[in-house]
Chain A
Amino acid sequence: MVEILVSQINRSASQIIATLLSNKRVGQYHQIVLGIGDLVKVCRPGNFVAIKVGGDSSRMILRRAFAISRVSESVSFGGTMELIVAPHGGGSQWLCSQIEGAEIDIVAPLGTAFGIPTTPIKALLVGGGYGSAPLFGLAELLKSRGCKVDMLLGASIGGKIYAPMEGKRSVNSLRIYTEDGSMGEKGRVTEPIAKLIADAEVDVIYSCGPMAMLRAISELTNGTEVIHQCAVEEAMACGIGICMTCVLPVKNAEGQIAMLRSCIDGPVMDGSTVQWDLIGQVPEISVQP
């Protein structure tokens, strides 16, 4: 009875007005930096931010969720949050059109974070498209804990690879895969993973990108000792757990399937518990909780 009295949901989240400090075009993406003050202290790799878009008279009524690429603190700017945004819809296009000094209404940090090991491990970070964004902040943290950090990035074409110069310094190795071969090796980012697992080159895989990529990695880690922490992506209306739209079928410790909200029980989930083949379906309720 005690644990129900203290709600842990959204416990670090605040709604604040952040100032846009910079907005730079990086390949097909925008790198957006927001001044968020002391909120950086509670942001962890894997968390996301929900941003109000379109201004007060907008017909877009829902916030847009973005993975937090990284946070940092400096004397000149205080606490800052970096986002990598692909301007493919009305909301993200609005955000990418905002100029320095713009006031941005954010709710952050939201959702679960990547689990950080207490001992040095061999980590493999796998990013698809701009899904690589939160992996660079994670890589820095893992390196500071003495982990070996290898990174695989993939996309359909080279223009959709996000790999900043400074990010490359925080990894032991970086391999890039494109389906058309326009950057790095030709092929899919998941191709080398089976061999890395077989050679015992990896203890934990951290992944972020399209659901098909996360599912493919989960199938590769199935039946192995490798832990797969993936940041899932599902359409959200609220980002704070009240709308119930972003649910995924996930198996709990008792072997029962529950429809969990990817905003508060995710975005970082244990890939081995996600029932990838049941997404988009309604599983049977076998046992009453």
Chain B
Amino acid sequence: MSATVLDFSTTIGNAFFTTPIFTASGCASSGKELSQFFPLHEIGAVVTKSVMNKPRFGRPTPRMAETPSGMLNSIGLQGPGIDSFLANDVPWLVEQKSRVIVSIAGETVEEYATLARKVRSVAGISALEVNISCPNVENRGLVFACDPEASRRVIDGVRRIIGGDLPIIAKLSPDVTNLPAIATGVVEAGADALALINTVLGMVINLETMRPHLGGKTGGLSGPAIKPVAVRAIYQVHAALPTVPILGMGGVASGRDALELILAGASGVSVGTASFGNPNVIIDIQNQLQDLLVAKGFPSVKSAIGYAHR
């Protein structure tokens, strides 16, 4: 009997990745910090922190509160702006032989189009994540992904700029009543894939001050506490749109967690908050997932995607 050779590769749209485990946007900066702990080319891709057109300081501190099996953050998209990011961070990642998925965030439909135009002109990028669901903006009305029509307009604008060159991944919020309807809308507008889920909006009250603890009052809940929400969201959307690849994320901290998301319908899995607690966790998860797929008898990642729906 010959040993089974697992096909660990995956695809998101027309982009190929040697492994299905990625960083999550906003949880790996632009890769330099984690590169001390493992070579970035050993994982599927680095999904960079959502970048806006102009440099941005983000929200006031305190920006973090640990919660049971999770944490709230209210960073508010602090970043260098797209020009500095494309000039400095992307070339560095390419030099590391890392696969790069660039995540963009805007305040208007036009800002997303501007960002897409700038990203299109740079080599070495595998896919574009369009983050329309960051909860840490001053006005909740700016969370495009809570509004089907606004979501469509953003993706439509980006698709017109990008053409067919790069897969577009729309990152959606679970904080909506009908997620499959929003997902269907952005796919019709031209998204090749979906990133599910962004953080869940939450709040902590500080018992010393008896006021909201975070400087931005509300924050995004992440970590193992939200994993069942992610599994549900991925399962629902995969059922509605079985041919649309999903980049799954939300509380993944082990190979078992990653397999759960894949079985629900994810083609790739991003690891975010778990890296805060363990800088080497992405490599651990990758190794555990490989062993699990073999143990369960799957010949490939692809054969496990959506297997829970049978």
List chain A positions with a Cβ less than 8 A from chain B: 1, 4-5, 7, 9-11, 13, 15, 52, 59-63, 105, 107, 234-238, 240-248, 259, 264, 279-283, 285, 288-289
Contact = CB atoms under 8 A, between A and B. Distances in A.
A281 B216 CA distance: 10
B273 A61 contact: yes
Contact of B32 (A1, A7, A61, A62): A7
Q: Which 9 A-B pairs have the closest CB atoms?
A: A245-B64, A238-B276, A241-B33, A10-B36, A7-B32, A245-B63, A59-B69, A59-B68, A237-B276
13 contacts: A1-B91, A4-B91, A52-B277, A61-B274, A105-B278, A237-B66, A244-B63, A245-B61, A245-B75, A246-B63, A281-B60, A285-B55, A288-B54
Contacts of A59: 68-69
Contacts, number: 133
A240 B279 contact: yes
Interface of B: 26-29, 32-37, 49, 54-64, 66, 68-71, 73, 75, 78, 80-81, 84, 88, 91-92, 95, 215, 223-224, 253, 273-280
B29 A242 contact: yes
A245 to B, nearest CB: 4
Contacts of B68: 59
A240 B64 contact: no
B242 to A, nearest CB: 33
B276 A259 contact: no
B55 A289 contact: yes
Contacts of B95: 5
B191 to A, nearest CB: 27
Contacts of A241: 29, 32-33
B61 A247 contact: yes
B78 A244 contact: yes
Contacts of A61: 66, 69-71, 223-224, 253, 273-274, 276-277
A105 B278 CA distance: 9
Given A61-B223, A279-B61, A15 B279 contact: yes
A9 B58 contact: no
B29 A237 contact: no
Contacts of B280: 15
A282 B55 CA distance: 13
A285 B29 contact: no
